[in-house]
Structure 1
Amino acid sequence: MRYRSIILLSAATLALAACGHKSETSTTTETSVNDTMVAADNVTDISTPAIPSQGQTFANAAAASDAFEIATSNAALSTSHSAAVKAFAGKMVTAHTGSTAKLKTAAAAASPAITPDATLTPDQQQTLDALKAKTGADFDQAYIAAQIDGHQKTLDALKAYAASGDVPQLKTFATSLVPTVTAHLNMAKGLKP
C-alpha cells in the first residue's frame, strides 16, 4: 500500500508540475506574442519617406531647372563682358521667371495640388558654384556650355513628361514649353563668347 501511495503521490506531483510548466509556457508564449505585436506596432510608427509621385518629381525638376537658369543668367548679367551673352541672359531670366509662374499655376490646379521644390540638384549647384568662380572669356564659355547642357536636359524631360506624364495639367505645361525650350537651346548653341 505504501508503494501504491508513493506512485500516486509521484503521479500527482508530475501532473502538477506539468500543469505549472504548461502555464509558464503559455504565459511565456503570450508574452512573446505580445512583445512581437508591440515591436510590429513600433515598426509601423517609424516614418518612412514617401516616394514622390511622377508628377511631383517632374514639377521639382522643372522648378530646379528654372531656378538654375535664373541663377546662372543673373551671374552672367553681373559678370559677363559680352553684349550677346548679357542679352541672352536677360531673356533667360525673363523667360524662366515666366515659366516658374506657369509651373506653379499648373501644379496648383492638379488634384491633389503639387508644390514644386526649386532646390538645385547637386550637379546644378556644382555648375553654378564653378561658374561664379570664373571671369572674362572663361566665364562666358562656361555659361554658354551650362546653358546648352541645361536646356538640352530640360527639353528631354519636357518631351518625356509630355508623352507619358501622369498629371494632365503638368502634361499640358510640358507640351506648351517644348517649342520655347527648343528655341532657347538653339539660341544658346549660336552664342559666341
Structure 2
Amino acid sequence: MQIVRWMTVGAAALALAGCGSKTETTSTDTTTTTTTANTDAGMMANGMDMAPAPTASAGQTFANAAASNDAFEIASSKLAESQAESAAVKKFAASMIKAHTESTAKLKTAAGAAAPAITPDPTLTAEQQQTLDSLKPLKGADFDKAYAGAQVDAHEKTLAALKVSSADANVPASLRDFATKLSPTVAAHLNMAKGLKP
C-alpha cells in the first residue's frame, strides 16, 4: 500500500513537473514571439525594416506630366471644336488636337526606349480636370476667352517642364531628347495661344 502511495505521489509530481515545464516553454515561446513581434513593429514604426514607399522616377514623373498635358490639350481642344465662336480659336484647336496626338505617339516611343521602359500615364492632374470642367458649360465668346487663357497657362507650364526635364540627368536620354526636340514646338504653340487672347 505504501509503495502504491509513493508511486501515485511520484506520478503526480512528474505530471506537475511536466505541466510546469510545458508552461515555462509556452511562456518562453510566447515571450520570445511577443518580443520579436514588438521588435518588428518597432522597426517598422521607425522605418528600419520597411521598404520605403515606391516613388516615381524622374523619367516616369516627366512622362506622366507630358502625357497628361497632351491629354488636356486634346480634350480641351475637342470642346473648342463645338463650343468656340471664333474661327481662329477653332483653327487653333484643330491644330492642337493634331499636334498633341502626334506628341503622344512620340512620347510613347521615347518612353518605350528608356531602360527600363516607361509607360506614360495620361491621367489629368486635379488642376487640369478643374480647368476642363470649368470650360464645359461655356459657349461662344465666353468659351473663347477662357479657352485661350487656359491654353496660354498650359503651354507655359509645359514649356517650363520640358526645359527642366531636358537638362535633368535623372531623366532617361530618350525622354531628354524628346523634351529638347518638343520645346520649340511648344514655344510656338504658346505664342499662338497668346495671339488668341482678346
Normalising TM by the smaller chain, what interval?
0.7 to 0.9
Whichever residue aligns with residue 171 of structure 1, its letter is R
Q: d(CA) in 2 for partners of 1:90 and 1:140?
A: 14
Note if 1:111 corresponds to 2:115: yes
- The number of residues matched between the two structures is 174
**Worse-matched range after superposition: 134-143 or 48-57:** 48-57
**Worse-matched range after superposition: 30-39 or 133-142:** 30-39
TM-fit CA distance, 1:85? 0.4
> Which residue of structure 1 aligns with residue 5 of structure 2?
none
Q: d(CA) in 2 for partners of 1:185 and 1:163?
A: 21
Q: d(CA) in 2 for partners of 1:132 and 1:47?
A: 43
> Which residue of structure 1 aligns with residue 11 of structure 2?
none
**1:28-60 deviation digits (Å, cap 9, x = unpaired):** 542323434675899999997521111101000
Q: d(CA) in 1 for partners of 2:63 and 2:95?
A: 22
For the aligned residue pairs, the C-alpha RMSD in angstroms reads 2.9
Q: d(CA) in 1 for partners of 2:51 and 2:128?
A: 29
**Worse-matched range after superposition: 57-66 or 183-192:** 183-192
TM-score where L is the length of structure 1: 0.80
Q: d(CA) in 1 for partners of 2:119 and 2:91?
A: 31
**1:108-138 deviation digits (Å, cap 9, x = unpaired):** 1100000000000011001001101111111
- Sequence identity of aligned pairs in percent? 57
Note if 1:35 corresponds to 2:37: yes
Instruction: Kindly report which structure 2 residues correspond to 1:39-188, keeping only aligned pairs within 5 A, or say none.
Output: 49-166=53-170, 167-188=172-193
8 Å contact from structure 1 (residues 66, 99) kept in 2 = yes
Query: In structure 1, the residue corresponding to 2:88 is in which secondary structure?
Result: helix
Whichever residue aligns with residue 33 of structure 2, its letter is T
Unaligned runs of 5+ in 2: 1-16
Q: d(CA) in 1 for partners of 2:54 and 2:160?
A: 26
TM-score where L is the length of structure 2: 0.78
